[in-house]
Amino acid sequence: MSDSFFGFDTAHMSDDDLGPPDLDDDRYNSETFGADAGEWEEDDHEKISAYLERERSVLHQLGNGRAPLSVAADQLPGATDIERGLSKLVTDDELDDPCIMSVRRSSRPAGSVPIPHPQFGRPRSPPISSLLESDISGSPSANSIWSTTPTRPANAFDDPAIMSVGRPRAPPPAARLPLPAAAKVRTVEELEHDLLARSPARPPPPPGFGRGLPPPPAGPPPPMDFSRPPPMRAPPPPPGEQFRLPNTHLPPPSVTSILPPQLMNKDRGSGGAGRGLPAGRGTPSHHQHQHQHQRQHQQPHQQPQWRQDQERRRQDPYAGLMTSRERQWLLNIQRMQIKGNSDYYFQHFNSRKLSQGRRDSRGGHGRDQHKDRDDKHTDHRLYKPPEMENSLGKLQVASVTAPRKIIDLGVINQESADGSRDHKEAKRDRQTLLLIEQLYHQVMLVEGADRQAAGEPESEAESAEPAGPRLSPEEVRAAASGRLWSALSREQQLVHILAIRKGKGLVLRCLPILSSQQYYQIALTLLKHLAVVLHKDKLDNMLHKFFVCMQMVVSNSDLAQITELTAALTASTDLDSATPAKTPLQLVACSPFGVSVALLLLLRGDQLCQQQPTSGAAERWRPLAAGLTRCLSALPQLAPPLEPVPAALLAKHVPEPRLVARLVGDVGAT
Amino acid sequence: MYFNLPSIGRMSSRTDDVLFGHATLLDELDRKVMVLLRDGRTLIGVLRSVDQFANLVLDRTTERIHVGKQFGDIYRGIFVVRGENVVVVGLIDEMREGTVGLQEVSVEEILEAQRQVQEARHQQEQLRVKAMKERGLTYTADLGPDDMY
């Protein structure tokens, strides 16, 4: 408990006791007031105040680095003396614990006055060296424990009630001990003030400070400080601030009347949200001096700048909890995050801002600013965020230094190990997809035109189409289907399209649009490259939808066309091959669609052939059909056809009984 | 109604040079903020400390319960909020705080009002569950009281 926030043991300080005050704890005990208080000579207090005045002025000079004012040597303690005294202060402070103080009390020589302990103990003042060097205005979490802002302890001493009572009364020459203690009261504030004067690097106080309090009626304008850019925190101290004026010994108590009207307010809870200020941190030094010099004159009317800052700090004792170091650390983390392109949103925002900046007439200035920011972003940290495009939605892991770090995923390409070929294929597939999109657009145009022609009302999407020169539906249709066909008529392109699932859907959809001749062409191409298309269709399983189309084609074709189709089907196959299993036909025969198409062709072809047995087409047809049949029957694997074929029909047209048996057998099995 | 715009980009002059285009909570330090939590609570306090996860330390915090046009404050002291539970943090414009048009009532009153609202909502839920059950469906509310967002 002794190491609490206040630095002394607060365990005993319970004012809630309803009982009579503990005599041991009585600050107004006999030692202070009564018989044990020691001898007071009449003008002792005058001597003391004179001495203290000198001390104060000396310290002020000391703090400003100038030689002390020329005072009578015997009266003025030398600088070294003061330092010694101040270092003694430290020692005294450390024994500030009232328990220990009572011990010291007893050990003091007779005639010396015990150092009274006010309710909240004395303010602890930091060791001199650390005061002058370190960051006193930090947070309680900073390295130095002295970096707490003074709170009630300081108040206690400034309280006029205590001042009148609690000042040590020993005659100055006799006991040096209590005097440094009394001088200490001033010196703490003096030292703080000196420190503030010494450190101009502190960010200036917010402009709102001037807003919250109306500017003082005369003298140096505190608001002048706040016109300095850049203001750290904008809003003024809220009116809800509890006003507590830590008065000094110098100004008469009437000063208190000035500020309360400005700051006092009905307060909720525990004092409202104080407008925390790192008080006086940024007040530049020359203003301090100004205030210092003019303080004598102004004292009755207002409080100097730093005093107001100190007040504010007292009112909001937790202000500045985050040190600038901690802030900088946080900023660094944020900076690290935006450096490198891991933040998708920031990159976009940045690029848009830059383009705006360039568009602005500021021109070069904008560019300079951008450059400056870039320079500031270059950070020599070890951590480099992984460069990944499409960083949206990636897995992220949070760590202390990188709260949103993207996990370095090695994307495994599942397609194949063959690098270059896959790149080409992937590229081609992408291009084909784009083409398919365009063709879909054409299809929709045609369909829209058809609907218009049929008299259906235009849908919203259609009316939203960019209205070029208003074409009639027929023109639109003609143009679109022309474009469509020009794309589909290219054999290789059609194969690519058919290799993609979406392409197959496209072809199916535009079949109603195309003419029968175009149909035929498509069917021809399909059959020619059936093996390839089948291979690609393994995952898609959409080819069977083409069967109806094939049926239509076949039923509309004459023998010559059938022959052509069959030739296309068997084009890549050596029908008389000794190893039929290795022919592309095997692949065809493995799929129901292939088998069905083959059967379709055979049946229809034979039908037509029997109708015109002597035509030239028939002559061409027969060997082809025979070869196909032979090959099919020799194939080890045969898939069942999509639709069951009646055995009688098969037997009639397919002369190969084994094949028939197999097909029928398969069908029978299903 | 309470909020000022937080410091983003040019409006944050302190961190402007460092974090162009980025919002940072550092400019809201030691200022009165309103924090909306994921469980629907509203906290108002002085923002003392933040970190990279948006964990917050709030000083002199009051929990403000809003019901309709009324609100009630419960003083809570110091809060440390884990960043993932924060929905929004907003700076309170203390000049406009008084002109918001809400009526402050006592804690008991507002808790009573809140209880009534929750009671009504609960009854609604019960009806819904019952109706669904009658139709042979099971109904579970997808957002519970612990996580409203």
* Amino acid A155: pLDDT: 46
Cβ atoms within 10 Å of A17's Cβ, excluding its own: 9
- Which chain B residue is nearest to residue A349, measuring alpha carbons? B21
Mean per-residue pLDDT over chain A, rounded: 65
At A481, the pLDDT band (50, 70, 90 cuts) reads confident
Contact B19 A334 (CB under 8 A): yes
| B119 at interface of A, judged by CB pairs closer than 8 A | no
Arithmetic mean of pLDDT, A483-492: 88
The mean pLDDT of chain B is: 85
| Interchain proximity A349–B50, CB inside 8 Å | no
Q: Given the DSSP bridges, would you call strands B3-4 and B32-37 parallel, antiparallel or unpaired?
A: unpaired
Rounded to a whole number of angstroms, the distance between the first and last alpha carbons of chain A is: 90
* pLDDT score recorded for residue A413: 46
Nearest Cα residue in chain A from B30 = A276
B22 vs A376: CB contact, 8 Å cut-off?
no
Among the partner residues A322, A333, A372, nearest to B29 by beta-carbon distance: A322
Q: Which of A631, A632, A624, A630 is nearest to A606 (CA)?
A: A624
Length, in residues, of chain B: 149
pLDDT at B80: 97
Chain B residue with Cα closest to A276: B30
User: Residue A614 pLDDT > 60, yes or no?
Assistant: yes
Q: How many CA atoms lie less than 13 Å away from A192 in the CB half-sphere?
A: 28
Q: Which chain B residues touch A399 with a CB distance below 8 Å? A: none
Look at A161 and A624; give whichever has higher pLDDT: A624
Q: What is the pLDDT of residues A573-603, one digit of tens each?
A: 777 777 767 778 888 888 888 888 888 888 8
DSSP-assigned letter for residue A478: H
DSSP A97-126: -HHHHHHHHHHSPTTPPPPP--TT-PPP--
Task: Assign A166 a pLDDT band (cuts: 50, 70, 90).
Answer: very low
Tell which residue, A163, A172, A185, has the closest CA to residue A112: A172
Among all residues of chain A, which has the CA nearest to that of B14? A232
How far apart are the C-alpha atoms of A338 and A285, rounded to whole Å?
Answer: 37
pLDDT in tens, A221-250: 444 444 444 444 444 444 444 444 444 444
Model-level pTM greater than 0.80?
Answer: no
User: 3-state secondary structure string, chain B?
Assistant: CCEECCCEHHHCCCCCCCCCCCECHHHHCCCEEEEEECCCCEEEEEEEEECCCCCEEEEEEEEEEEECCEEEEEEEEEEEECHHHEEEEEEECCCCHHHCCCEECCHHHHHHHHHHHHHHHHHHHHHHHHHHHHCCCCCCCCCCCCCCC
pLDDT band at A209; cut points 50, 70, 90:
very low
Flag if A318 and B46 touch (Cβ within 8 Å). yes
Mutate to test the interface with A, among B52, B57, B61, B95 (most CBs of A within 10 A): B52
Contact check, Cβ <8 Å, A203/B93: no
Confidence of residue A179 (pLDDT cuts 50, 70, 90): very low
Q: Which residues in chain B have Cβ-Cβ distances shorter than 8 Å to A360?
A: none
User: ipTM for the complex?
Assistant: 0.80
A271 to B60: CB separation less than 8 angstroms, yes or no? yes
Across A544-561, average pLDDT: 86
Read off the pLDDT of each residue in A625-630 and give the average, rounded to a whole number: 84
3-state secondary structure (DSSP) of residue A397: strand
Mean pLDDT of A252-261: 43
Contact A273 B15 (CB under 8 A): no
* Minimum CA–CA partner of B48 in chain A: A321
pLDDT in tens, B74-86: 999 999 999 999 9
Residue B22 forms contact with A (CB below 8 Å): yes
Q: Closest to A322 (Cβ–Cβ): which among B13, B19, B49?
A: B49
Percent of chain A with pLDDT over 90: 2
pLDDT at position B67: 94
How confident is the model at residue B110, as a pLDDT?
95
Residue of B nearest to A206 (CA): B14
More confident residue, B58 or A605: B58
Highest mean pLDDT: which of A153-157, A186-190, A209-213?
Answer: A186-190
> What pLDDT is stored for residue A184 in this prediction?
52
Provide, as residue numbers in chain B, all residues whose Cβ is less than 8 Å from the Cβ of A236: 94-95
The mean-pLDDT minimum among A206-220, A537-551, B10-24 falls in A206-220
Q: Provide the pLDDT confidence category of residue A120 given band limits of 50, 70 and 90.
A: very low
Residues in chain A closer than 8 A to B24 (CB atoms): 330-331, 334
Q: Give the H/E segment covering residue A537.
A: helix A530-540
What is the 3-class SS of A354-380, one letter each residue? Answer: HHHHHHCCCCHHHHHHHHHHHHHHCCC
Residue B59 in contact with partner chain A when CB distance is under 8 A: yes
pLDDT, average across residues A83-96 = 53
A235/B4 touch (CB, cutoff 8 Å), yes or no: yes
The answer on pLDDT for A667 being more than 80 is no
Looking at chain A, which residue has its C-alpha nearest residue B62?
A: A269
The reported pLDDT for the residue numbered A472 is 80
Cβ contacts of A321 on chain B, cutoff 8 Å? 29-30, 48-49, 57
pLDDT at residue B70 in the model: 93
Closest among A91, A86, A115 to A175, alpha carbons compared? A115
Chain B residues in contact with A401 (beta carbon < 8 A): 52
The string over A410-427, giving b where at least 16 C-beta atoms fall within 10 Å of a residue's C-beta and e elsewhere, is eeeeeeeeeeeeeeeeee
C-alpha distance across the termini of chain B, in Å? 21
A14 confidence band (pLDDT: 50, 70, 90): low
pLDDT of A609 over the 80 cut: yes
Q: Report residue A3's pLDDT band, with 50, 70 and 90 as the boundaries.
A: low
How do residues A507-532 score in pLDDT, each as one tens digit? Answer: 888 888 888 888 888 888 888 888 88
- What pLDDT shows up at residue A239? 43
Mean pLDDT of B55-64: 95
Q: How far apart are CA A574 and CA A628, in angstroms?
A: 10
The string over A493-509, giving b where at least 16 C-beta atoms fall within 10 Å of a residue's C-beta and e elsewhere, is bbbbbbbbebbbebbee
**pLDDT tier for residue A457 given thresholds of 50, 70 and 90:** low
Residue B74 sits at φ, ψ, to 5 deg, of: -120, 125
Beta-bridged to residue B61, according to DSSP, are: B77
For the stretch B20-58, pLDDT in tens is 667 789 989 999 999 999 999 999 999 999 998 999 999
pLDDT at A4 over 70: no
A253 DSSP 8-state letter? G
Query: Does the pLDDT of residue B91 top 90, yes or no?
Result: yes
Per-residue pLDDT tens over the stretch A350-402: 778 888 887 775 554 444 444 444 444 444 455 555 455 566 677 777 778 77
More confident residue, B134 or A411: B134
Choose the mutation target among A267, A309, A318, A405 for the interface with B, i.e. most B CBs under 10 Å: A318
Query: What's the pLDDT score for residue A254?
Result: 44
A338, B22: Cβ pair inside 8 Å?
A: yes
pLDDT at A69: 46
- Per-residue confidence band for A187, with pLDDT thresholds at 50, 70 and 90: low
- Bridge partner residues of B77 (DSSP): B61
State pLDDT tens for residues A268-323. 434 444 444 444 444 444 444 444 454 444 444 556 656 655 665 667 788 888 89
Q: Which chain A residues have a beta carbon less than 8 Å from that of B19?
A: 331, 334-335, 338
